[in-house]
Amino acid sequence: MKKMTSKERFMRALRHQEPDRVPVFLMAMSIGAKEADVSMEEYTTNGEAQARAQLNILRRYKVDLLGGGCGVAYRAEAFGTKTLYYEGNKEPPVIIEPAAKQAEDWGKLKLDMKKPGISAYIQAMKIIRNEVGGEVPIAAEVVQPITFATHVAHLIYVMKLIKKDPALLHKGLSRIVELYNEYINTLIDEIKPDIFVFHCNRASSELLTKDQFSEFGIPYDIKTLEYLTARKVPIWIVNNGGYPYLEMMVENYPVDVVNWWDRGTSPMKLRDMKEKYGHKVCLAGGLNQTAELFDGKPEDVEASAKDAIEQAGRGGGFILSAGYEISTICPPENLAAISPAVEKYGKYPLASSVTAKP
C-alpha cells in the first residue's frame, strides 16, 4: 500500500478503514518539558518551548497526532484556580487554590483565555500547525464537566454536593458547560484542531455509581459533545478509570474514538470492544503507561504493541496509544520502541499470523 501522511493515516482509521499502517498517538503532555530541556514552568507558560517539545516528540517517536498542554492546572487556571509550579521538569504544575470553594462561587466562575497556561497552549498549537501544515493532525483538549468540576473545586467538595446539595452541583455543571462554549470556540478558531480529546476520568465506578454518572455526567457530557459535533470536529474520548463506563459512553455519546486503560484493571479488553463496537467507533489503546512503557524494556513494549494489533487491528479502525498520559520519567528508549514495532507488525494488510484469533 502507498505510504500515507499522518493525516491520511489518521483519518482512515477514524473512518474504520485500513490505512497503510496502524497510526500511533502518545499523550505526551508533561513529558514535553524534558523533551524541550526546560523547566515545567517554562514549558507550560512559554508557547515556543511547548511547540518545540511537541515537534521533538513528532520527529523522535514518529507519532501521527500531536497534542500539547501540561496536566490539568493550565486549563483550570483559565477558569479561576491558582497554580503552583515546581522547579525542574519532572512534576507538572498543580492547582493550589480552587475557584469554587462555596455555594456562591459556582455562579461567579469566569473564563480568562489570557491566563499564562492556556495562552501558551494556544500559541504552541498555532506554531505546530504552521510547522506541520496539513500533514500531521492536531488535537485540542476539553474535560468532561463533572471531571472539570473536580478541578475548579476540591474533589471531596464535589462528592459532598452529589449527596447533600445536588441542585447546587447541577448549577455548577451548567455554568461550566456555558463557559465551555466560549472556551471551545476559541480553541477551534485559533488552533483549527483536527480532533478534540475529551477527558472522562471521573466516569468510572470507583468514584461514581451508574446512577450518579447518569445524573451528573451524561447530560452535561452530551451538551458539550453536541456543541463539538455542531462545529464539525471529531471527538476522541479517553478514560483512565479502573472500571470505566465505556459501554454507557459508546452507546450514548456521538464520538469517533474511544481510548481507555485497557491494560489496567478495566474488564473490557481491546478484543471485546472490537467485537462489540468496532463497527461504530475507532479504538485506541494497547500500551500500558504504568507498566511496560514506564518500567519495562523495549522488547516488552514491542510485545504489547504486537498483542494490541492482534486484538484490534483487523480491518482498521485502530490507533496504537497508551491508556493515558505518558509519565515524565518514562525511559525514551521505551517510547522509541513503538514505531519500529508498528512498522514490523502494523502494516496493512496485516499478516495472517498477526490477525488470527487465538
Q: Please state which architecture CATH assigns to domain 6-352.
A: Alpha-Beta Barrel (3.20)
- Which residues, in sequence order, are CB contacts of 165 under 8 Å at separation 6+? 103
Across residues 160-176, what is the average pLDDT?
A: 98
Digit-coded pLDDT (tens) for 202-232: 999 999 999 999 999 999 999 999 999 999 9
Q: Look at 336 and 34; give whichever has higher pLDDT.
A: 336
C-alpha to C-alpha distance for 179 and 183, rounded to whole angstroms: 6
Digit-coded pLDDT (tens) for 74-114: 999 999 999 998 887 778 899 999 999 999 999 999 999 99
- Which residues, in sequence order, are CB contacts of 172 under 8 Å at separation 6+? 100, 106, 109, 149, 153, 161
Return the pLDDT at 255.
95
Q: Look at 87 and 251; give whichever has higher pLDDT.
A: 251
Return the pLDDT at 268.
87
Does position 353 have pLDDT exceeding 80, yes or no?
no
Q: What percent of the chain has pLDDT over 70?
A: 98
Does position 128 have pLDDT exceeding 50, yes or no?
yes
Which of 115, 256, 118 has the alpha carbon at shortest distance from 190?
A: 118
Return the pLDDT at 71.
86
Q: For 194-227, give one letter per residue: b (16+ CB within 10 A) or e.
A: bbbbbbbbbbbeebbeeebbebbbbbbbebbbeb
Across residues 344-353, what is the average pLDDT?
A: 85
Across residues 121-125, what is the average pLDDT?
A: 97
Does position 143 have pLDDT exceeding 70, yes or no?
yes
Return the pLDDT at 81.
98
- Residue 291's pLDDT band (cuts 50, 70, 90): very high
Digit-coded pLDDT (tens) for 45-85: 999 999 999 999 999 999 999 999 988 999 999 999 999 98
Does position 26 have pLDDT exceeding 90, yes or no?
yes
Q: Which grid cell sits at 350?
A: 496485516
C-alpha to C-alpha distance for 7 and 256, rounded to whole angstroms: 15
Q: What is the 3-state secondary structure (H, E, C) of the chain?
A: CCCCCHHHHHHHHHCCCCCCECCECCCCCCCHHHHHCCCHHHHHHCHHHHHHHHHHHHHHHCCCCECCCCCCHHHHHCCCCEEECCCCCCCCCEEEECCCCCHHHHHHCCCCCCCHHHHHHHHHHHHHHHHHCCCCCEEEEEECHHHHHHHHCCHHHHHHHHHHCHHHHHHHHHHHHHHHHHHHHHHHHHHCCCEEEEECCCCECCCCCHHHHHHHCHHHHHHHHHHHHHCCCCEEEEECCCCECHHHHHHHCCCCEEEECCCCCCCCCHHHHHHHHCCCCEEEEEECCCCHHHHCCHHHHHHHHHHHHHHHCCCCCEEEEECCCCCCCCCHHHHHCHHHHHHHHCECCCCHHHHCCC
Across residues 277-287, what is the average pLDDT?
A: 97
Please report where in the chains the cell 486549563 appears, as a residue: 75
Q: Which grid cell sits at 337?
A: 520502541
Across residues 259-267, what is the average pLDDT?
A: 89
Across residues 318-343, what is the average pLDDT?
A: 96
Across residues 165-193, what is the average pLDDT?
A: 97
- Residue 351's pLDDT band (cuts 50, 70, 90): confident
Across residues 169-177, what is the average pLDDT?
A: 98
Burial class (CB in 10 A: 0-12, 13-18, 19+), 91: middle
Return the pLDDT at 109.
97
Which of 289, 340, 298 has the alpha carbon at shortest distance from 31?
A: 289
| Residue 82: alpha-carbon gap to chain centroid | 23
Return the pLDDT at 227.
94
Does position 321 have pLDDT exceeding 70, yes or no?
yes
- Residue 354's pLDDT band (cuts 50, 70, 90): low
Does position 118 have pLDDT exceeding 60, yes or no?
yes
C-alpha to C-alpha distance for 17 and 33, rounded to whole angstroms: 35
C-alpha to C-alpha distance for 23 and 259, rounded to whole angstroms: 14
List phi, psi (to 5°) of 198.
Answer: -105, 105
C-alpha to C-alpha distance for 168 and 131, rounded to whole angstroms: 45
- Residue 352's pLDDT band (cuts 50, 70, 90): low
Return the pLDDT at 151.
97
Handedness of CA 77, 82, 85, 90 (dihedral sign): negative
Average per-residue pLDDT for the chain: 94
Return the pLDDT at 204.
95
Which of 130, 145, 113, 124 has the alpha carbon at shortest distance from 69?
A: 124
Query: Are the beta carbons of 126 and 190 closer than 8 angstroms?
Result: yes
